[in-house]
């Protein structure tokens, strides 16, 4: 029997060259296998047949059985339509069609009995159904009246060629008949038993032709489990391979730099969480294996000082280190805070960004090569070819997801042996997404804020509460605090947004005549921006009107209020990120979300989540539930590295966990999948790597 993936869909009866072309362009369906794995996106239970007298127009979908008669054409031109009467002896419903009129005229026969399915509505006081699905009773391969009806995604172009959901189902029906054999299994038999899974052949038949909900659930579980299992198996195998292949520098000691900084210059007590993650990383660095660790921690949890102390361990062992940040603002802020700490103990720190002048650059290049620079901080400029270290031992990447994986791996190819890698992120990533995107990294979490921080109070105001807002801002300013007012600025509506921003600025000037107000936005020259920012940082200006350019990297502990205008236009993680700009000092801080009065369901929920929790992980989980993993900050730019055919990371966390456990158990016995028993796994991984998954996107 030929492999399903080599059988061309064009030769499936009912397809042919023209439809094959459409299936390829619209759904990327080329082979029998592709069509089999085009799963329904929903099912509607069609086991019940209603009596017309019991139908009321508020019902979602109904199914009735009876005769169709009195077919006639109405209207002219674009309003031309067809109408018919349906009766089952208990009452009548009008059926209406705007398309496919010729076909209807040819096929509808008043002598036949039909099963009619659709959404009922009330028109001129009587029941009708627009574009019902109709099937002759007892006709072969229809699902009507029998059970769960699957619905497949289709496109307008497909519908024009009569490739609607029903047609796809018929093609799949034909496919099973044509193939006439068992679909080959993609998991070993004993594995299927151990995990109590349905076999693949049954699962694929059931998902397209479900006999009942319970069997369908089992089929869906099998397919989801397999999908998530293979992703985890691949990630964990890569992790094993790296562990076997990459020795990693041994940082055997904690030396003078670390100890001096810790004893003499660290001005605060580390939180227990900070101490714990430092220990976790010290263990990695002393193991002789390459460290690959993700450090997660909410904004303000103190990741920078942790990163610095890990850098000190590298330097104590005779190595150089570098830290890469996604923007110039962030890089220079890291530079300032790290340089301040490092200069105390006599270390050399340099900043390398795109705007460093040539002479300075040359100097950096030289002192990197001869090992004078201990810590290099910068942007993408760090990964350029010409940047060569004498002895790079540790790479810290901040705000990981803003970098492509390729860029990162270029950074650690700067040595023959790979340096240790620590990736920091302040955007908390939901657990399931982290497991999938960074599943081969070890994870450390700073799950508490430094003591004395009061959680930011978040409030939701409508635009017509402006006077109340202004009174509140005045009170805060009179206490000596400072205020941010952030406006959305989105490319698509840029000019309108810009008008809002500048009008907001003018308005604030009239509302706060006694205060100094600055404005920053992306269109300003960077020298102007910096000057305005500096006047705010120094406290000279009390209010700062800005776009999201201030989202990352601004640290003004005296700023205690963050007003977010048109908050409905921001995503949850962005709102949380902006909120992280306040609450950095010891005073009570506030985040005020301004929205219009009329809000959609989803937006109201977002505002509610913001006012209810300060916990970044909870916000991220909620965000993923609302928007789905593909739209989350962090996956937006890079995209998910694979397309999930059936699983949903926000809903299938439990299946993902058991898939990961099973994958770990498999690798426990056979770390690199070399045994004979693992050949199915291997074959399947090779296939996935070729077809579906862009593994290079995974770090």
Q: Does 579 bind ligand ADP (CB under 6 A)?
A: no
Give the other-Cβ count within 10 Å of 132's Cβ: 24
Fill in the per-residue mask, 412 to 431: x = in contact with ligand ADP (CB under 6 A), - = not in contact: --------------x-----
Kindly tell me which of 501 and 554 has the beta carbon lying closer to ligand ADP. 554
543-546 and 517-520 as β-strands: parallel, antiparallel, unpaired?
parallel
CA–CA distances in Å: residue 154 to residues 162, 175, 348, 513, 618? 10, 18, 60, 59, 35
320-324 and 62-74 as β-strands: parallel, antiparallel, unpaired?
unpaired
- In angstroms, what is the minimal distance from the CB of 307 to ligand ADP? 8
**617 three-class SS:** helix
Residues touching ligand ADP: how many (CB under 6 A)?
Answer: 14
Kindly tell me which of 148 and 310 has the beta carbon lying closer to ligand ADP. 310
- In angstroms, what is the minimal distance from the CB of 162 to ligand ADP? 57
- In angstroms, what is the minimal distance from the CB of 436 to ligand ADP? 24
Q: Does 305 bind ligand ADP (CB under 6 A)?
A: yes
- In angstroms, what is the minimal distance from the CB of 280 to ligand ADP? 16
- In angstroms, what is the minimal distance from the CB of 584 to ligand ADP? 6
CA distance 297 to 302: 8
From candidates 248, 297, 418, 634, binder to ligand ADP by CB under 6 A: 297
62-74 and 81-87 as β-strands: parallel, antiparallel, unpaired?
antiparallel
Q: Does 98 bind ligand ADP (CB under 6 A)?
A: no
Residues 223-282 that bind ligand ADP (CB under 6 A): 268, 270-271, 274
- In angstroms, what is the minimal distance from the CB of 552 to ligand ADP? 10
Kindly tell me which of 422 and 685 has the beta carbon lying closer to ligand ADP. 422
- In angstroms, what is the minimal distance from the CB of 698 to ligand ADP? 25
- In angstroms, what is the minimal distance from the CB of 431 to ligand ADP? 19
Kindly tell me which of 566 and 577 has the beta carbon lying closer to ligand ADP. 577
From candidates 120, 210, 248, 302, binder to ligand ADP by CB under 6 A: 302
From candidates 301, 327, 560, 589, binder to ligand ADP by CB under 6 A: 301
To which H or E segment does residue 103 belong? helix 101-107
CA distance 618 to 391: 41
Rounded to 5°, the CA angle 441-443-444 comes to 150
CA distance 614 to 628: 21
Fill in the per-residue mask, 530 to 549: x = in contact with ligand ADP (CB under 6 A), - = not in contact: --------------------
Kindly tell me which of 296 and 432 has the beta carbon lying closer to ligand ADP. 296
Q: Which of 457, 507, 467, 464 is nearest to 485 (CA)?
A: 507
Backbone phi and psi for residue 88, each to the nearest 5 degrees, phi listed first: -120, 15
Give the other-Cβ count within 10 Å of 118's Cβ: 19
Q: Does 662 bind ligand ADP (CB under 6 A)?
A: no
Query: To which residue do tokens 């069509």 refer?
Result: 35
Instruction: Read off the tokens for 184.
Output: 């080959």
To which H or E segment does residue 665 belong? helix 653-669
Kindly tell me which of 271 and 320 has the beta carbon lying closer to ligand ADP. 271
Cβ pair 558, 482 in contact under 8 A: yes
Kindly tell me which of 281 and 644 has the beta carbon lying closer to ligand ADP. 281
Q: Which of 175, 445, 129, 482 is nearest to 302 (CA)?
A: 445
Residues interacting with ligand ADP, by CB under 6 A?
A: 268, 270-271, 274, 297, 299-305, 426, 450
């Amino acid at each position: 029997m030929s492999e399903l993936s080599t059988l061309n869909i064009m030769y499936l009866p009912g397809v042919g060259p023209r439809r094959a072309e459409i299936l390829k362009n619209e759904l990327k369906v080329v082979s029998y296998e592709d069509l089999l794995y085009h799963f329904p996106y929903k099912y509607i239970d069609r086991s019940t047949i209603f009596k017309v007298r019991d139908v009321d127009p508020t019902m979602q979908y109904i199914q009735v059985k009876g005769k169709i008669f009195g077919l006639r054409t109405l209207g002219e031109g674009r309003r031309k339509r067809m109408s018919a009467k349906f009766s089952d002896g208990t009452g009548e419903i009008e059926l209406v069609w705007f398309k496919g009129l010729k076909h209807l005229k040819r096929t509808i026969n008043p002598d036949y009995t039909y099963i009619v399915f659709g959404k009922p509505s009330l028109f001129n006081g009587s029941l009708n159904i627009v574009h019902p699905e109709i099937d002759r009773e007892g006709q072969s391969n229809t699902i009507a009246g029998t059970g769960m009806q699957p619905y497949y995604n289709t496109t307008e172009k497909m519908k024009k060629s009569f490739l609607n959901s029903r047609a796809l189902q018929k093609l799949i029906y034909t496919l099973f008949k044509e193939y006439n054999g068992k679909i080959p299994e993609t998991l070993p038999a004993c594995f299927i038993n151990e995990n109590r899974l349905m076999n693949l052949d049954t699962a694929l038949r059931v998902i397209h032709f479900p006999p009942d909900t319970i069997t369908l659930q089992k089929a869906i579980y099998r397919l989801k489990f397999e999908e998530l299992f293979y992703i985890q198996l691949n990630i964990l195998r890569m992790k094993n391979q790296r562990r076997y292949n990459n020795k990693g520098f041994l940082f055997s000691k904690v030396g003078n730099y670390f100890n001096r900084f810790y004893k003499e210059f660290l001005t605060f007590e580390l939180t227990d969480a900070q101490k714990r993650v430092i220990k976790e990383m010290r263990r990695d660095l002393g193991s002789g294996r390459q460290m690959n660790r993700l450090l997660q921690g909410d904004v303000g949890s103190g990741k920078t000082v942790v990163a610095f102390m890990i850098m000190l361990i590298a330097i104590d062992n005779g190595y150089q280190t570098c830290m890469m940040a996604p923007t110039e603002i962030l890089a220079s802020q890291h530079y300032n805070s790290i340089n301040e700490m490092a200069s105390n103990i006599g270390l050399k720190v340099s900043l390398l960004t795109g705007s460093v002048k040539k002479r300075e650059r040359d100097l950096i290049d030289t002192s990197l090569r001869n090992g004078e620079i201990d810590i290099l901080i910068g942007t993408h400029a760090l990964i350029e070819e010409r940047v060569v270290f004498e002895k790079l031992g540790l790479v810290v990447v901040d705000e990981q997801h803003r970098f492509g994986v390729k860029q990162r791996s270029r950074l650690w190819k700067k040595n023959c042996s790979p340096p240790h890698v620590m990736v920091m992120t302040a955007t908390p990533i939901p657990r399931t997404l982290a497991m999938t995107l960074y599943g081969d990294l070890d994870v450390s979490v700073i799950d508490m804020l430094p003591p004395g921080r009061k959680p930011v109070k978040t409030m939701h105001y409508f635009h017509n509460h402006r006077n109340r807002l202004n009174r509140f801002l005045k009170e805060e300013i009179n206490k000596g605090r400072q205020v941010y007012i952030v406006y959305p600025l989105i490319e698509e509506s840029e000019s309108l947004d810009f008008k809002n921003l500048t009008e907001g600025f003018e308005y604030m000037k009239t509302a706060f005549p006694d205060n100094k107000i600055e404005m920053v936005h992306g269109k300003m020259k960077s020298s102007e921006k910096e000057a305005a920012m500096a006047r705010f940082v120094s406290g000279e200006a009390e209010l700062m009107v800005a776009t999201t350019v201030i989202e990352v990297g601004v640290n003004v502990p005296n700023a205690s209020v963050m007003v977010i205008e048109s908050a409905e236009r921001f995503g949850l993680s962005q709102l949380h990120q902006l909120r992280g700009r306040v609450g950095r000092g010891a005073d009570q801080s506030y985040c005020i979300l301004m929205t219009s009065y009329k809000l959609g369901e989803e937006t109201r929920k977002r505002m509610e989540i913001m006012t209810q929790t300060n916990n970044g992980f909870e916000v991220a989980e909620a965000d993923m539930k609302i928007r789905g993993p593909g739209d989350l900050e962090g996956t937006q730019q890079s995209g998910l590295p694979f397309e999930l055919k059936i699983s949903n990371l926000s809903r299938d966390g439990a299946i993902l966990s058991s898939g990961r456990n099973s994958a770990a158990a498999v690798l426990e016995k056979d770390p690199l999948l070399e045994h004979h028993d693992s050949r199915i796994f291997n074959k399947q991984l090779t296939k996935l790597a070729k077809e579906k998954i862009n593994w290079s996107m995974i770090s």
